[in-house]
Chains A and B, each alone.
Chain A
Amino acid sequence: MGAIGATRAEAEAEVGKTEMKVTTTGTQPAPEAAAAADGRPAKTLETRGVNLFYGEFHAVEDVTLTVEPNKVTALIGSSGCGKTTFLRSLNRMHELTTSARVEGEITLDGQDIYGRAVDPVQVRRLVGMVFQSPNPFPTMSIYDNVAAGLNLNAGRVKKTEKDAIVERSLRGAHLWEEVKDRLDKPGSGLSGGQQQRLCIARAIAVEPEVLLMDEPCSALDPVATLAIEDLIGELKSKFTIAIVTHNMQQASRASDITAFFNLEQTGKPGRLIEIGPTEKIFTSPAQQATEDYVSGRFG
């Protein structure tokens, strides 16, 4: 899945080349690959000096960070600090807003996702997004909801192949057992937690490299929330995951790395204050602002 924005044929050729290289040179798997032995090595998302704007408004300033492969990175910070804007820039959704623009560099395994020849649709296939409110296509069946991405991205897929992908994706999202007997029923008939898992199944059906989640549990009850958190823990064996959350306990439970965003005052751009292992951020953060935020001393 190397070449973003290249044609599908080129991308497949790229994959072929990589495989050839591994075969001929006997290259050892990277450490990340070894770490994700039960899954697959995912890709690294890196940002360097990223600034995000809405027209004249400078929303996010100079963010340099790495979203590490096969790990869950939580983005935390108070409302308006730019964490969701930043998340949306990671799969080029930010630019869908009128007058929005991006400066700086964002790369997926070293490839600039904002490169001139890069197709944003291809970026969004490699970097999937799960939104705050579960948003299954209301008129589509459960089956078609999962297959929707396949139809858009992969052209014609054989029915048997599609069946296999739908089942694999629903199993991956811990939903298969609950819906396997009613795949033709509307997705909107599911509970909130099930709908969100359906959206996750839809996102992983196209086999992205990275999953972005924007407060995926904020509309769910505690049991459904814990189910999604368990699922996130399993998905990281296959994907690189970044999650925006307002729920501090969720960040501490579900993530490996935590990035804290803050803004000096309203109207100023949000900035990355501190990023580190979640355990460290919640036991002994390096910055006083982080300490104050995670301790709940400031709004």
Chain B
Amino acid sequence: MPGGIRVEYQEELERLEASALGGIDLASAALTRTLEAVEHQDVELAQIVVADDDRIDGRYLEVHQALITLLATQSPVATDLRLISALLHVLKNVERMGDQCVNICKMIPLTGNEPPSDQQMVGLILDMGRQAKMLLSQAKRAFADRDIELAQDLVRQDDVVDNLNRECFRLALEIGDDADRREWAMTMLLGARAIERIGDNAVDIGEQVAFVVTGLFREFEDASHPSV
């Protein structure tokens, strides 16, 4: 009876996967607004991002609870079990990415109405953000298609984000002696760091793709044991 058994359970699992991966889109939309708020020093938009994080948290809670219910009631095993485990990880990453956007947006009012900004550094942060959004889109596609190669390529894409982050750091060091400018640069560095973490979250989602497909978990990149 192929396909004829446990239809509702399978449909529920598919629905929850779509909902969890939809959470990546919510995080990506939050990042888009965050970048716009940074670019235009838009305090109101930043506040909207902070308030809207409840939607991401709500998605996390809703799908997380439904997955726990499936675990408790349907005894999933094999690929289904790996998928549910991976989706719980994806949800956690989505929730963290939303929080990183909130972290950036909470900093925006602290820099004042007309901050002594450095356009080159702002440009780097916006480039970081756009690259991070690309990673999110790629991570979602890799998960939905169970495409390990595409998932592994996230590491290469994330290197771009990391390099831009280092460039931000170099610019901050050379920002000059003006106290206000230095304070602004330090605040912006925190923002760059938050975006860099979003890139890492996308790579983590890629690692879960490999786990779902192969049953083996391994870090694509291990910060404590970097490859030579």
Complex: how many Å from CA A191 to CA B75? Answer: 29
| Contact call B1/A284, Cβ cutoff below 8 A | no
CB distance from B56 to the nearest CB of A (A): 30
Q: Which residue of B lies closest to A284 (CB)?
A: B215
- Which residues of the partner chain A approach B2 to less than 8 Å between Cβ atoms? 297-298
| Contact call A283/B5, Cβ cutoff below 8 A | no
Which of A249, A284, A298, A299 is the one whose CB lies under 8 Å from B78?
Answer: A284
- Indicate whether A192 reaches chain B with its CB closer than 8 angstroms: no
| Contact call A283/B78, Cβ cutoff below 8 A | yes
- Indicate whether A190 reaches chain B with its CB closer than 8 angstroms: no
CB distance from A134 to the nearest CB of B (A): 26
B81-117 Cβ-contact flags toward A at 8 Å (1 or 0): 1100000000000000000000000000000000000
Interface range for B: 10 to 19
Per the 8 Å Cβ criterion, residues 1-54 of B in contact with A are 1-3, 5-6
The answer to whether residues A296 and B5 also contact, given A249-B75, A283-B215, A284-B215 and a CB cut-off of 8 A, is yes
- Indicate whether A252 reaches chain B with its CB closer than 8 angstroms: yes
Most B-side CB within 10 Å, residue of A248, A252, A283, A284: A284
| Contact call A295/B1, Cβ cutoff below 8 A | no
| Contact call A283/B6, Cβ cutoff below 8 A | no
- Indicate whether B228 reaches chain A with its CB closer than 8 angstroms: no
Per the 8 Å Cβ criterion, residues 176-216 of A in contact with B are none
Complex: how many Å from CA A291 to CA B5? Answer: 14
Which of B75, B78, B214, B216 is the one whose CB lies under 8 Å from A291?
Answer: B78
- Indicate whether B58 reaches chain A with its CB closer than 8 angstroms: no
CB distance from A206 to the nearest CB of B (A): 37
Complex: how many Å from CA A294 to CA B82? Answer: 13
| Contact call A282/B77, Cβ cutoff below 8 A | yes
Q: Which residue of B lies closest to A296 (CB)?
A: B6
- Indicate whether A285 reaches chain B with its CB closer than 8 angstroms: yes
Complex: how many Å from CA A249 to CA B5? Answer: 18
| Contact call A295/B80, Cβ cutoff below 8 A | yes
The answer to whether residues A291 and B6 also contact, given A284-B215, A298-B1, A299-B1 and a CB cut-off of 8 A, is no
A226-253 Cβ-contact flags toward B at 8 Å (1 or 0): 0000000000000000000000110010
| Contact call B6/A252, Cβ cutoff below 8 A | no
A257-299 Cβ-contact flags toward B at 8 Å (1 or 0): 0000000000000000000000000111100001100111111
- Indicate whether B76 reaches chain A with its CB closer than 8 angstroms: yes
- Indicate whether B69 reaches chain A with its CB closer than 8 angstroms: no
- Which residues of the partner chain B approach A295 to less than 8 Å between Cβ atoms? 6, 76-80
| Contact call A284/B82, Cβ cutoff below 8 A | yes
Complex: how many Å from CA A291 to CA B79? Answer: 7
Q: Which residue of B lies closest to A282 (CB)?
A: B77
CB distance from B106 to the nearest CB of A (A): 41
- Which residues of the partner chain A approach B80 to less than 8 Å between Cβ atoms? 295
| Contact call B215/A248, Cβ cutoff below 8 A | no
- Which residues of the partner chain A approach B81 to less than 8 Å between Cβ atoms? 282-283
B50-82 Cβ-contact flags toward A at 8 Å (1 or 0): 000000000000000000000000011111111
| Contact call A283/B82, Cβ cutoff below 8 A | yes
CB distance from A21 to the nearest CB of B (A): 44
- Which residues of the partner chain B approach A283 to less than 8 Å between Cβ atoms? 77-78, 81-82, 215
Residues of B at the A interface (CB closer than 8 Å) are: 1-3, 5-6, 75-82, 214-216
Q: List 22 A-B contacts (CB under 8 A).
A: A252-B77, A282-B78, A282-B81, A283-B215, A284-B78, A284-B79, A284-B82, A284-B214, A284-B215, A285-B78, A290-B78, A291-B79, A294-B77, A294-B78, A295-B6, A295-B77, A295-B78, A295-B79, A296-B6, A297-B3, A298-B1, A298-B2
Residues of A at the B interface (CB closer than 8 Å) are: 248-249, 252, 282-285, 290-291, 294-299
6 closest residue pairs by CB, A with B: A284-B215, A282-B77, A291-B78, A294-B77, A295-B78, A296-B6
5 extra interchain contacts, Cβ-Cβ under 8 A, other than A283-B78, A284-B82, A296-B6? A295-B77, A295-B78, A296-B5, A297-B6, A299-B1
